[in-house]
Structure 1
């Protein structure tokens, strides 16, 4: 282990929680180091280990005005010997060289390849029981594509890497959550036309089961699950579409038969207001299940991305991320807000039982 200073033994917190650096041309490295520093300041120690390019993360410290030593780990086994006040960084083998030379604020194939490699290396360490979970800084879908990574985003990449090659993929879902609203998506990254074609009773019921299990893991014994319809006014009895009648309502009925507290299909233009937990309004529901990506994510993001957290449900390990993208326009300015990253770290700890 190479470090600028030696601070002695570090408090033991179990296996490290990994934090991947994201796209080096965006704000991922900056919010990652800032969240780690804030975590250290608040608690006096941190269970986080950053995964990424050492030079990029050193530069991120400078961008964020942080004067901190860096502990370069040869392996995650060295995490237990890390100095308590040094940023622990594990740099996986095979990263493209000289990543800090990539232009900030630009789509880069090398940045996309590096981001994917850090994610995949982190998953391997979790599977080898060398880490407790994964928090991911933002990546750029076009950079992944430019690098030849055949996945539209984190969710699909993690799903594929969570099982051996050729094994059936686990059903996964995306949940976006903040202090006021949680929403889980039946369909994720695909065209709207494809999303509508994917909606069926089996998929909706599977989403309800995954949602129920996830909320129970964070301490909600009997989650109140509201299901948003697909069509205006939830189809208005078939006048505006029949997906609610053919697919969504039967899934709700089966979920109720399994003992879940599920209601709907509700009109999608009002159900999120009913579910919102606010000082002047106690939410009627603990979570809303939405049929498509934008139906579910627009309401949560409208409330503010500062505290938003993306959680991948259904994986055999914990994965969270902040509710924002690479923000190329802010990269290198030192103005990136680490609040959403900090919220993602807190959520990951809750899910692994450390909160």
Structure 2
């Protein structure tokens, strides 16, 4: 099978995306699995190569079209958008220019995927304040992708090793998140979780549905959302043939330990932090003796889109951007997931 072309956005030019892109693509093994293509600014990548002291090993090939790419280890192909003035770029700062550039990288990679010129998309981190300063009123990548692909029904999946979660709601207040726990949306998230796992090659995924309240409501003592909204969604999904072993909401304080033990392939969670916290406790490992992160791993996948989108599960790293210290683990994981999705889709 021909290696899939994976389009990778460079992320905010003032952040860690340029150096992470270089680190991840400085791998001969990666080029044996796929044909990576950065969407960004060639000048930023050249600066990152110098920072990482890799100028004797890697060169940048600026192109305007995927057909011009070489896809050879040692040469990093980039759709050169030429959006960044290096003389005015400041690492670690919110800047209108960088927000505009990051936004343009995302819309370009979406365009390439929609026209079939690339097989999957991977996104480095952008800064929400920067893109809004540039006049693009989105709360993140997910909303941009949904808008530019005309997708109404979508959900976020986080994944690290065998832990996977799909959210009923994400970037809203906790009060709004509780109000969003409705039968229709819970059912939609369950369906997306099932199809997302199947797209990874898990033919009959086992799905847990976390409760909203402590102890999953304790039969109505601590809230009735499990009885009135979550259980009806589970019953419909079960009738559709989706495997939900428990047949009811699982207490959220035990669902992740059970998934680690192999009980489930994915958990549907009710709100942002219910899913993010356990995934990041496992994927983000800080070494207090060395005062540095040993691991920043995990990926963010948008389900329900007509194109494949996987992202790093961390921010722009403004605090250390440009010093070469950022870990590429999450980007490596994201590219691997994108390859899996692309191959299975074929």
* 2:301 is aligned with 1:301: no
1:6 counterpart residue number: none
- CA shift for structure 1 position 146: 1.3
1:66 counterpart residue number: 54
Deviates more, 1:29-38 or 1:57-66: 57-66
The 1:345–1:97 alpha-carbon spacing in structure 2 relative to 1, beyond 3 Å, is closer
Equivalences, count = 330
1:135 counterpart residue number: 122
2:221 counterpart residue number: 239
1:22 counterpart residue number: 11
2:289 counterpart residue number: none
Deviates more, 1:192-201 or 1:246-255: 192-201
Q: Give the conservation status (yes or no) of the 8 Å contact 2:16–2:322.
A: yes
- Following the alignment from structure 1 to structure 2, what is the Cα–Cα distance between the partners of residues 227 and 138? 29
Deviations 1:137-172 (A, max 9, x none): 011111122111111000001100013xxxxx3311
Deviations 1:61-90 (A, max 9, x none): 1222322111111212212x4555311011
The root-mean-square deviation of aligned C-alpha atoms, in Å, is: 1.8
Give 2:79's match in structure 1, choosing from 77, 83, 90. 90
- CA shift for structure 1 position 190: 1.0
Residue pairs, 1:311-322, within 5 angstroms: 311-322=301-312
2:233 counterpart residue number: 251
1:279 counterpart residue number: none
SS in 2 for 1:152: coil
Q: Give the conservation status (yes or no) of the 8 Å contact 1:184–1:288.
A: yes
Q: Give the conservation status (yes or no) of the 8 Å contact 1:113–1:144.
A: yes
Deviations 1:118-149 (A, max 9, x none): 10011111111111111000111111221111
1:4 counterpart residue number: none
- Following the alignment from structure 1 to structure 2, what is the Cα–Cα distance between the partners of residues 351 and 318? 7
SS in 2 for 1:353: helix
- Following the alignment from structure 1 to structure 2, what is the Cα–Cα distance between the partners of residues 15 and 44? 10
- Following the alignment from structure 2 to structure 1, what is the Cα–Cα distance between the partners of residues 228 and 219? 11
* 2:331 is aligned with 1:347: no
TM-score of the pair, normalised by structure 2: 0.91
TM-score of the pair, normalised by structure 1: 0.88
The 1:212–1:334 alpha-carbon spacing in structure 2 relative to 1, beyond 3 Å, is same
Deviations 1:332-352 (A, max 9, x none): 111110011001000000000
- Following the alignment from structure 1 to structure 2, what is the Cα–Cα distance between the partners of residues 179 and 294? 19
The 1:303–1:83 alpha-carbon spacing in structure 2 relative to 1, beyond 3 Å, is closer
The 1:17–1:112 alpha-carbon spacing in structure 2 relative to 1, beyond 3 Å, is same
Q: Give the conservation status (yes or no) of the 8 Å contact 1:172–1:315.
A: yes
- Following the alignment from structure 1 to structure 2, what is the Cα–Cα distance between the partners of residues 159 and 219? 24
* 2:185 is aligned with 1:185: no
- Following the alignment from structure 1 to structure 2, what is the Cα–Cα distance between the partners of residues 256 and 205? 10
Q: Give the conservation status (yes or no) of the 8 Å contact 1:71–1:82.
A: no
* 2:140 is aligned with 1:153: yes
1:107 counterpart residue number: 94
Deviates more, 1:148-157 or 1:259-268: 259-268
- Following the alignment from structure 2 to structure 1, what is the Cα–Cα distance between the partners of residues 115 and 341? 19
Structure 1: where are the runs of 5+ without partners? 1-11, 164-168, 277-281
- Following the alignment from structure 1 to structure 2, what is the Cα–Cα distance between the partners of residues 313 and 45? 23
SS in 1 for 2:203: coil
SS in 2 for 1:330: coil
* 2:138 is aligned with 1:174: no
The 1:50–1:151 alpha-carbon spacing in structure 2 relative to 1, beyond 3 Å, is same
- Following the alignment from structure 1 to structure 2, what is the Cα–Cα distance between the partners of residues 83 and 342? 18
